[in-house]
Homo-oligomer: A and B are copies of this chain.
Amino acid sequence: MELKPVAKRFVLHWGEMGSTWGVNRTVAQIHALLFITGRPMNADEITETLDVARSNVSMSLKELSNWNLIRSVPLMGDRRDHYETTTDVWELFRTVVRERKSREFDPTIEVLRDCLKSGDIASEDKAAQMRIKETLALMEALSAWASEMIRLEPATMMKVIKLGAKVQHLVHGKQVSVKAAE
C-alpha cells in the first residue's frame, strides 16, 4: 500500500520522534501507520508499506503488544493476524503514560527506597540523605498523581487539562468559576 503524502510524513515524523523517546523507529512507524490508516492491517501489508524486513515487523508488533498499544483482530476468511490500534488519541495517551510510568518511574522509586533502607545510608552526609528523600517523595507524588489521572474519562481529563493552572486557586481555598473549565 502506497501512503498518501500527509500520511507518509506523519509516519516518518512519528518514527523519528520514537527514537527520541525510548521506542525504536520501526516500532513507532508501525504504530503511526496503524493509527493513521485506521483499519486492521496484516504483517505483510505493513512490511510492504514501510519497506522493512518481515522479521523486523514481526518483532515490532510483539513490542507494540507488550506496550498494549495494538491488539490483533480476526478477519473473516483470512487466516493471517491483523492488527489495529485505538484511534482515540486520549486512550492512546493514557496507555503511553501508564506504560512509561511502569518502565521508567516505578523502577527508580524502587531503587531510591532501597537506598534509604540500606545500612549504608547512614554514612552519607545529612544533606545528601535529605536530597534522596526529597527525590523519592517527588517521584512518589508524581507517580500516584499519574495513576489517578489516567483513570479519568477522556472528557473529564480534557476538562482538567483545560482548567490548567487555575486549579491553584482551589488549593488556595478561593472560589473558582466552573465556567472557566469549559
Chain A positions near chain B (C-beta within 8 angstroms): 4-7, 9-10, 13, 17, 20-22, 35-38, 87, 89-90, 93, 103-104, 108, 111-112, 115, 118, 120-121, 123-124, 127-128, 131-132, 134-135, 137-138, 141-142, 144-145, 148-149, 151-152, 156, 158-165, 167-168, 170-173, 176, 178, 181
Contact = CB atoms under 8 A, between A and B. Distances in A.
Given A38-B131, A170-B181, 7 more contacts: A10-B111, A20-B103, A21-B22, A145-B161, A160-B168, A170-B176, A171-B181
A119 to B, nearest CB: 9
Nearest to A122: B6
Contact of A160 (B13, B103, B167): B167
A178 to B, nearest CB: 4
A145 B167 CA distance: 11
Contact of A171 (B38, B145, B178): B178
A108 B131 CA distance: 35
Contact of A141 (B7, B13, B161): B161
B6 A115 contact: yes
Contact of A128 (B7, B123, B168): B7
Contact of A131 (B36, B104, B148, B167): B36
Contacts of A21: 21-22, 104
Given A134-B89, A135-B89, A6 B121 contact: yes
